[in-house]
Amino acid sequence: MMPMPSNKTADGLIRRLPDVRGEYEAGVSMASLSWFRVGGPVEVLYRPEDARDLAFFLDALPGDIPVTVIGVGSNILVRDGGIDGVVIRLGRAFSQIEINGTRVSAGGGAPDVGVAGACAASGVAGLEFLRGIPGTIGGAIRMNAGAYGSDISQVLLSATAVDSQGTLHQVSADELKFSYRHCGAPADWIFVHALLAGSSGNHHEIAARLAEIKTARLQSQPVKSRTGGSTFKNPDPVLSGGRKAWQLIDEAGCRGLTVGGARVSEQHCNFLINSGDASAADLESLGNEVRRRVLAHSGIPLEWEIRIIGRPRARGDTIADMTEAGS
């Protein structure tokens, strides 16, 4: 496990941060927050009290302090050197789910699986695909997440976001210019709320569909392993001849490939796994080796779907060095 920032370093940063109603916590290990269970510490973790608290923080934050936003940690790989500055994590205040007829109001921190379950309980159909997406609604909007034949762009009516200046924006789905695994919103927007459209359905039929998706995931994906979800985006079908990322990886002979404690899943080779003692560097190196082999075999470049954040551990650093540096 990486050392925590020194109290002196963390206290110095916290003294420069706005006086918010939410919570600051210094030296939190990102390995405890990411599904890969790897990553160094963040200098300061900030959990906003609500959207207004978040807006105030962003407006008053000194411009030289870097900010990183995370959800539940399902699609990130945090490097071993940790993250400088402040990590924002939307907590319970952003996880509310309310259903009015077939309209679903969800906070940006609401788990996708939780939204799917709430819809099933209320007889709202059309959002079952969310059961197959690890992460939150805010993250789903940011990357236009999808599964089982649908994606967030097909059900989103409107979204509310806060930008880096603390300004609130309410926009329609059309304004976000969605494409495959991409949202056209400015990079500094943090999605705090979404209004989704469902349709009337039968509770038992919807619940059965959720059970099918759960079973399909268990059978086809290493969901009980330390993994971050799908690692690479599916390439352009014209370029790839209709082959998906996992097929290209398999054809390049990468199924079961290992680097240190990191392994390409034998069950679904578009998943990287921390076998128990992997570092973030192991996982990133393995992913880049997969990309190299796929490009050499098929001529098709794979793009990371997982977001890689933070900084590598500096070569030659010792535990004492990193603690003194507040890394």
Q: Which residues are catalytic?
A: 181, 230, 305
What helix, strand, coil percent values describe the chain, rounded to 5? Answer: 35, 25, 40
Instruction: Enumerate residues 6+ apart whose C-beta is below 8 A from 79.
Output: 39, 40, 280, 281, 284, 308, 309, 310, 311, 312, 313
What is the separation, in whole angstroms, between the first and last Cα of the chain? Answer: 12
CB-based burial of residue 168 (10 Å sphere; 0-12 exposed, 13-18 middle, 19+ buried)? Answer: middle
Torsion angles phi and psi, residue 39, rounded to 5: 120, 145
- Among candidates 64, 39, 47, which has minimal Cα distance to 309? 39
- Which one-letter DSSP state was computed for residue 111? B
Q: What is the maximum span of the chain, computed from C-alpha positions, in angstroms?
A: 60
Q: Three-state SS string across 258-322, please?
A: EECCEEECCCCCCCEEECCCCCHHHHHHHHHHHHHHHHHHHCCCCCECCEEECCCCCCCCCHHHH
User: Taking Cα atoms as reference points, which of 77, 107, 5 lies closest to residue 226?
Assistant: 77
Location of structure tokens 């997982």: 306
Q: Report the DSSP pairing between strands 124-125 and 83-89.
A: unpaired
